[in-house]
A and B are shown apart, each in its own frame.
Chain A
Amino acid sequence: MNELVLETHGLRIAVRSNSAMLLEQLRNRTASVAAQSSGTPQLSYTIEERRGESGLSYAIRCGTGRMQRSTTPREALDAVLRRMQLHVAEEAPDHIFVHAGVVSWEGKAILLPGRTFSGKTSLVVALLRQGAAYYSDEYAVLDRCGKVHPYARPLQVRVAGGSRLWTAHMLGAEVGSGPLDVALVVFAKYHLTSCWQARPVSPGNALLRLLANTVCARKRPHEALACLRLVAVEAPAYVAMRGDSGDAVKPILDLLARDSKVGRKL
């Protein structure tokens, strides 16, 4: 078995496979968020490639327990990556992961929290097309000071019949490099027939909404609250209904221009 140990956000995860190529593809897919390491891993996954009568299949295990079976290498990689990301989001010791799209505009970070299928990625793509820098389409990675760090995995754009991976460069956008203060939080909800409508919410309300999207909220509530409080106090927050993501870009940037200098207190 070949082994690849990846280190990200203070965690080391090993992936073992009898297919060297699968590990190579995994290394490529995670290059922007994880580094290769030689230390002892805290968690391991195994992807076993099997050749049967009906062709190739892939058995995936987490530790010693069986997890799932895939028929294509990409499906197997996607499954392992999904599990790995969730594990890191839950266990990363010095960071709080919030389900949110993040971009930076003129050095200010915009947080777009939302659950899976809430339209985070399409909003991020629309902002990147207008010249924003890419931070993340899935997790806002916050440190203890409330600053947001890049988590620039390839954007997972959903289209009819599945999802496709696009990197920020493919969209003509740059990837953000350092931690930034959060300047605006927009809880945008997509509805097909909606026009843009936004209303401000109090810092307390914003804090609760952020907590609802925080991955480690149940495991480490104190740490999560301390970190999210900083964001809720400093950044103006809005709840919005939106239609097409392209139409939401200008109002979001207008909110940023109007409110980014206004600080708030709980």
Chain B
Amino acid sequence: MIMDNMTIKNQEEIAPKIYRIEVTGPLTQQMKNPGQFVNLRVSKGIDPTLRRPISICDVDVEKETLTMIYRVEGKGTKLLAEKVVGDEVNILGPLGQGFPVEAAKPNDVCVLIGGGVGIPPLYYLGKQLVAAGAKVITILGFRTDKDIFLEEEFQELGELIITTEDGSKGVKGFVTDALKELKAYDLYYTCGPKPMLKAVEQTASTHGFISLEERMGCGVGACLACVCDLKERDKTTGKAYAKICSDGPVFLSGEVIL
């Protein structure tokens, strides 16, 4: 099974325009890999036409609940925010290649670096890294202190550094300003807007894993709407590009041109 209707158990606005939604259904049994996403249909009608790709923030396989956090940006996410407990949403997923948890060895220090709605998938990842014995340091970037979300959740995983652009909380500046100050770590995982990912890749002293976002069509690798260029051709397929939805959204640092 890859597509099913899931029932909304909870939905709340946790920061301005940022919503947390919890849905339940057996599809969660397959959602074991952090960094994957689902393609969600917000309307039974034809407006909007396409599904919305939204990252997986947390999954409780036993309770069959999937948690997602999204920003109300346009028509589709506005419709999703209007849905109430008991409503059903059609979900296609899990899709894509997620973050490799096994890349971190026990006691490795892993830095999670997130910005905006790139933050949610790092939470499911962080939980799994901690469970695997790795040490987690998280750097989350927001515009102001009012925009902060998931603070307590990440604090439970290890050290948390918050940056705000206006300095209203934590380090003033961007996530890279905090990353520069970190002494020793073994690898990083990051998700956020492309300029941030680029800056993280340049600033980091180790290799890491980068999760991209892009406007998508099919979400399964067929339409080629969400491609990005590879730095070097893929040795097995010979292709010069990668599909963010199905080859990604997570890539090794240095693998794609940001």
Q: Are A and B physically bound partners?
A: no
